[in-house]
Structure 1
Amino acid sequence: MTDGQTFNRFAYVNGAPIGFIDPLGLMKCKDETAKKKVTPATKKVDELGEYYETTIRFETNVKWGDEYRDMNRRDFNRKVKYLQKLSDANLLRKVKPVRDQELTKKYKAAVIKKIIKHYYHRDKELAKKLIDKVRDDLDPDHMWDLGLDGPDVKRNLKLMDQFTNRRLGGVLGVQLKDVPYGSRIKIKIER
């Protein structure tokens, strides 16, 4: 392997989840349709001064590899509710994210360990299904995104539907691409 990020599925497609997709976690593939649907953040002014507004939408029927996917509504609502609260408190700022890759790996491993502890002795098949779901379908998500000045700590992590997590993170990344670091960010939600 010549590309170290290919070992970490959470780093999804070498940090470019909008321009590329990785539906199987094996290699990045160009996604020709993704960038066309994302509009950049809009510069605005309020009583505190300048800020950039991003719009997060619940999406359905999005091309993901060879299939079409819908966001998970429960995970979407949980994430945007939290981001909206932070936005309303003017706590979101664009920063260069700093991530400890081991933190998300350890978080996922701890969840699997809890599943084994609580379910394996009672129902091995259920435990195996839950472990497969955690391994294959869920990502540890930073609820307060690292690129919005969120902390890279365990208490900021929740498991989230992989597609929903990667799509939301990718859309935010594209919207904020040309926004200067340090800028205040406001979130607008469209359900």
Structure 2
Amino acid sequence: MARKRTSPPRQAQAKGARIVSAYLENADVFRTAKAAGTKVDGPAVLVLKNRPDFDKRDFDRKARDLRRLSDDNALKKAKPDRDSNKAYDPSTQKSRTRTNIYRDRMIRDLTKDGRLKADMGTPETNKYLANKTVVDRLYAGKGPITARGQGYDPDHIHELQMDGTDTYDNLRPMDAWTNRELGRDISVALRDVPEGTPIIVKVIE
């Protein structure tokens, strides 16, 4: 009987190669089936592993939730939909991504609609400085991110690419670099997996 892969594909382990945070344990099976035009009778096994450049707390929380959803049989490869994240924003009277609306709502809540001032907090609570740090990272997340700790992104707890719902209760702040890189690694890992295929998540501690 063939041994199951327990480490990333060889190309991901080559000297100088970028460390991946997500790979498919049974990638060869899906790649072969895609080339042959056949169907795989079974789930895709997605393995998640923290990267040294990630925010470990945010990765652990994300991985833990995806594993829980996997245990509940709630994950499957979703159909790509560029408009799935669009919603009407009454404040601008335009259609915007739900993640951007969520980000701006958080900023407004934390700044009391833009009136964030030192006298709103006290030395004991340090509320002003605490809010300012979060707000600065939320603003920074609107632009390019090159390393962890630079900004926050609204993250879908149940990934859209794994059939999560694009609703506000499925969003929460996450380190932007960790969010974007993990999301990209998951997308690459699942590229040969047909839509509707169940996904099992394993986490390497």
TM-score (norm 1): 0.68
1:90 aligned to 2:82?
no
Q: How far has the Cα of 1:187 moved from its partner?
A: 0.5
Contact residue 40 and residue 174 of structure 1 kept, 8 A: no
* Counterpart pick for 1:99 among 74, 81, 85: 85
* Counterpart pick for 1:134 among 123, 138, 150: 138
- Per-residue CA deviations over 1:67-111 (Å, capped at 9, x if unaligned) read xxx211111111111111110111101012432252111100111
1:29 aligned residue? none
- Per-residue CA deviations over 1:130-171 (Å, capped at 9, x if unaligned) read 311112101100010001010000000010001110111111
Pairing 1:12-51 to 2, within 5 Å after superposition: 33-34=17-18, 39-42=23-26, 50-51=42-43
Contact residue 79 and residue 161 of structure 2 kept, 8 A: yes
> What is the CA–CA distance in structure 1 between the aligned matches of 2:48 and 2:21, rounded to whole Å?
12
Contact residue 77 and residue 193 of structure 2 kept, 8 A: yes
1:23 aligned residue? none
1:114 aligned to 2:100?
no
1:74 aligned to 2:57?
yes
Query: What value does the CA root-mean-square deviation take over the aligned residues?
Result: 2.5
Relative to its length, the structure with more strand (as a share) is: 1
Q: How far has the Cα of 1:34 moved from its partner?
A: 4.3
Contact residue 138 and residue 160 of structure 1 kept, 8 A: yes
Contact residue 21 and residue 50 of structure 2 kept, 8 A: no
1:164 aligned to 2:168?
no
Question: Against the structure 1 CA distance between its residues 35 and 130, is the aligned structure 2 distance closer, same or farther, given a 3 Å change threshold?
Answer: closer
> What is the CA–CA distance in structure 2 between the aligned matches of 1:141 and 1:102, rounded to whole Å?
12
Contact residue 46 and residue 189 of structure 2 kept, 8 A: yes
Contact residue 86 and residue 92 of structure 1 kept, 8 A: yes
Relative to its length, the structure with more helix (as a share) is: 1
Contact residue 75 and residue 198 of structure 2 kept, 8 A: yes
- Per-residue CA deviations over 1:161-190 (Å, capped at 9, x if unaligned) read 011101111111011000001100001101
> What is the CA–CA distance in structure 2 between the aligned matches of 1:37 and 1:110, rounded to whole Å?
30
Question: Against the structure 1 CA distance between its residues 139 and 133, is the aligned structure 2 distance closer, same or farther, given a 3 Å change threshold?
Answer: same
Letter paired with 1:146? L
The gaps in structure 2 that reach 5 residues or longer are 1-15, 30-40, 87-95, 122-126, 141-150
Q: How far has the Cα of 1:35 moved from its partner?
A: 8.3
Letter paired with 2:175? D
1:145 aligned to 2:159?
yes
> What is the CA–CA distance in structure 2 between the aligned matches of 1:71 and 1:35, rounded to whole Å?
11
Question: Against the structure 1 CA distance between its residues 174 and 56, is the aligned structure 2 distance closer, same or farther, given a 3 Å change threshold?
Answer: same
> What is the CA–CA distance in structure 2 between the aligned matches of 1:127 and 1:83, rounded to whole Å?
29
Q: Name which one, 1 or 2, has greater alpha-carbon Rg.
A: 2
TM-score (norm 2): 0.64
Question: Against the structure 1 CA distance between its residues 175 and 41, is the aligned structure 2 distance closer, same or farther, given a 3 Å change threshold?
Answer: farther
